[in-house]
Structure 1
């Protein structure tokens, strides 16, 4: 087995959760399909809608070829991302942590997280606009309720990877069917669509919108995400198994991204047929497109438009939040509770949208949506360039390193993406600086220069550095040699008691550890209101009852030949258990666990988990 497979599991909740071994024929191929569909929703998010609508309304079918070129570049890069995850068993963030100096991971994480928040911001705005168009729900309320997407994501993760993929595919299906129906309503010109696939010279506004289309299409978080999602498939790690996995995932990527291309093309074609054809060349806002559809075609087309927008926003939100988890764990080796991590990502995106509406009104959301795409474009090079370096490195990829012609295409694609996005950023800064604001030149310009220098370092470092640092990529350190094992004798053992049916099993395990030579400390904590306020002076009924019951346990143990002492704590269970453990110099603590999950953990608390982080002695948890 490749030693790199000892690394932290990417998306550990669903890592290798889909077994491909038990299937044959078409079922085996289908078992690999799914990850690219989760990735593909990022290619049809509200940010894409804004650029496609603007391009179609202003230039008709002229920019369809730009969409096709963007899709081909995306197909190439996503296939490289999948290859990295399959061959090395690392996602892109983990590979970056292993392949670059330690310090570089902090700015890389910051940039990646900023891009994910910007992407999530676009999904939130799109979702809110869709709810507003369909149900007339105020935008500020629509943005507020998107926080509950976190709950949906946790629910889907608990149901397994295939359930999540089925949900995403259903959302994509809704988007596709909605636009297919709209194509029949607007009746576009097939001959003019065919002409749109002919490359043409771009300048002025057409170039600007084309850059926006490319920036919104090839998004950095999708590269992190895909390299992780392919690891949800369990397959043989020999050469044949890896080759098969690469082949089937390429099929998955090709189908999914071509579907995304057709959706994006449908949006542009819809805008061209509905607006450009009728002389409405300045339609850039999603809300304006909805109103004009209603004005020209009646109620059906705009309703389908809004439903598709909600589905796209919902599905893109889930994949963006997963990418946030991958980036945090990969670059920083930082693991926090899944619900908290997803809540932080969502709040970081909701706050700017929320305050934009409060300060500038609903009309400012369109500008914020465009700004999110500009921020997104800044980070793209920091994902694309390392990806090409890693997948072309024969030392780590061995025979699965990309071929020279693929490498050449990848570098050409990255040059196109980075140069066009740099041009977009320069133009935006020029527009912002036209007003003469001091902070543009004091903060924004120096920051842009620093980011540019960082990008240059990311590109040059693998070429000039011939020494590959042997960096441990697991969060817990390297395995140690286990020497002579001597029996540990515990003489002071604590046992937590809660007077439930679990007590018998907890006490039994403790007695097995220490035998009759150990002294046992039976600990129970009274958590009544009186106990919390009055402590050991509390004489309420529960305190007296618990004291008597604890003494009964001690008497029972004495009859069996065991020495024990009762201890009553008051108030906070965690604090009391830790204090009693320290005061009596316990050597081992045996605790019963109830197996609470999810909401019960939040309501009833997680005493066992909190105690084990606060004591310095071994804790035996008994179920």
Structure 2
């Protein structure tokens, strides 16, 4: 009798969740890998955590992509360690939002794109899809430029040819997708480790002052009082909290074959949040390392106007007194660009299938996104050279900022709705914190856009 009552309760909860959506969606997210990874029913917590680990690292990649590098380098070289507090706060926001994203996917069986399509009217969903595609193209643009710059620095390949070479990474993505989702996760984690090791070595070489670093993590009113510093701070926020990663995370958590019961979902949420939090702390280390390296290597030596990746590369060797410093910097940049490529491919597939319910072959989807990024990058590189690529990198972050609120607000709204989430709906305190983050992001990014376009 107890089992019968449990089943009835589960069915009632499922019906309740379904009634919370205007439209019904039966197609799973990322159908080819949906529920493809087994979760052990028995065993200790560590064994289960290891089974859930992976999606968080794919999400963390977006928080350390080449678009973050320019803002962190500029912030560190111009204002020492002051803006470390902004990186810390941005990372805290990311942890909260990604936890909500994982919960949405696990509880409802929908990714954020599907949830928007099921809830909003077709015109609204289409508009959200267009904005999201622009954000993904902008992020892809940053990856293309970052990888091309790294190839230029390491092998002296012209930027135009470097941009073209990056288009062939579609073959790597297709190969990994055919091998299985775990292979993608392993490659991504390996590249994250590569980036972390490179910056760990460079931090050791630059010998930063630990006491000053600690002070940098404490928010300063100087950030608000100084317009130039505030602008860079907003750029760091826009480059850190990536909109398309919210769509990505809500989907890839569903690759785990957890039990479709309240207990199973609760366990899946717990381990997925632990996974993404650990991964985002690694992203915090990388982003903070870029700024600390810029502060200790450039600010301390009077090079306070270093804002371009190429300039940072050229100055690292003579300042740190080692020929390997610049090589490590470029290797980390190349790993960052290629890592972001893998997750960008998945995000593009999730968004198109979720919003439009259109399923294209992965290579067609990837080719479309890549061409949107490569064409403007080639044109700007041919006309304006290296300076143009830097400006294009900054523009890509502005576009990401524009899209951010259109992903954050629906996410907070859906996860706070009891009709959609049942017993898993956000608590009062979670609602307060989540809506506060959403409002702050909307206001700051509106200000960032205003100051950017007003010159």
Scaled to the shorter chain, the TM-score interval is over 0.9
Kept in 2, the 8 Å contact 1:36–1:226? The answer is: yes
2:370 maps to 346
Query: Structure 1 residues 272-281 or 355-364, which shifts more?
Result: 355-364
The partner residue of 1:227 within 234, 238, 250 is 250
Q: CA deviation at 1:21?
A: 3.2
Given candidates 253, 256, 277, the residue that maps to 2:279 is 256
1:17 pairs with 36, 55, 63, which one? Answer: 36
- Distance (whole Å) between structure 2 residues aligned to residue 413 and residue 292 of structure 1: 37
CA distance in 2, matches of 1:417, 1:391: 18
**Of 220, 223, 228, which aligns to 1:200?**
220
Q: CA deviation at 1:295?
A: 2.1
Cα separation, 2, equivalents of 1:350 and 1:22: 46
More strand per residue:
1
Partner residue in 2 for 1:302 = 326
Q: Could you state the TM-score of these two structures normalised by the residue count of structure 1?
A: 0.68
Number of the residue aligned with 2:384: 360
Deviation at 1:27, TM superposition (A): 2.1
Q: 1:292 aligns with which of 315, 320, 323?
A: 315
Match of 1:413 in 2: 437
Q: Distance in 2 between matches of 1:177 and 1:158?
A: 29
Post-superposition Cα deviations, 1:127-159, rounded to whole Å, max 9, x if no partner, equal 011111111111111110111111111111111
1:183 alignment partner, one of 203, 220, 232: 203
Q: 1:379 aligns with which of 403, 406, 425?
A: 403
Q: Give the Å deviation of 1:408.
A: 0.5
Q: Out of 285, 297, 300, which is 1:277 matched to?
A: 300
**Whole-Å separation in 1 of the counterparts to 2:42 and 2:342:** 28
User: Shift of residue 107 of structure 1?
Assistant: 1.0
User: 1:401-430 CA deviation, whole Å, 9 max, x = no partner?
Assistant: 010111110111111111111001111111
Partner of 2:412: 388
**Structure 2 partner of 1:266:** 289
Distance 1:395 1:204 in 2: 44
Report the counterpart of residue 137 of structure 1 in structure 2: 157
Which range moves more in the overlay, 254-263 or 290-299?
290-299
Contact 1:117–1:348, Cα closer than 8 Å, also in 2: yes
Contact 2:59/2:343 (CA < 8 Å) preserved in 1? yes
Cα shift readout 1:156-177 (whole Å, capped 9, x = no counterpart)? 1111111110000000000000
Which residue in the other structure is 1:540 paired with? none
Deviation of the 1:22 alpha carbon: 5.4
1:7 offset after TM fit, Å? 2.0
> Are positions 1:214 and 2:237 aligned together?
yes
Shift of 1:362: 2.6
The equivalent of 2:69 in structure 1 is 49
Work out whether residues 21 and 234 of structure 1, in 8 Å CA contact, stay in contact via their aligned partners in 2.
no
Checking the alignment, whether the CA contact within 8 Å between 1:125 and 1:353 is kept in structure 2 is: yes
Contact 1:13–1:157 under 8 Å retained in 2 = no
**1:347-496 equivalent positions in 2, closer than 5 A:** 347-431=371-455
The structure number with the bigger radius of gyration is 1
- C-alpha distance in 1 between matches for 2:102 and 2:397: 24
After TM superposition, give the deviation of residue 320 of structure 1 in Å. 1.1
* Mapped contact 1:7–1:90 kept (Cα < 8 A): no
RMSD: 1.1
Between the aligned partners of 2:176 and 2:394, the Cα distance in structure 1 is 30
Secondary structure at the aligned position of 1:13 is classed as: helix
Tell me the CA shift for residue 247 of structure 1.
0.3
The structure with the greater share of residues assigned to helix is: 2
**Pairing 1:312–2:316 present:** no
State the number of aligned residues. 431
Secondary structure, aligned partner of 2:350:
helix
Q: Is contact 1:117-1:349 (8 Å) kept? A: yes
Unaligned runs of 5+ in 1: 432-623
Residue 336 of structure 1 aligns to a residue in which SS? coil
Matched with 1:29 is 49
Gaps of 5+ in 2: 1-10, 19-23
Shift of 1:336: 1.2
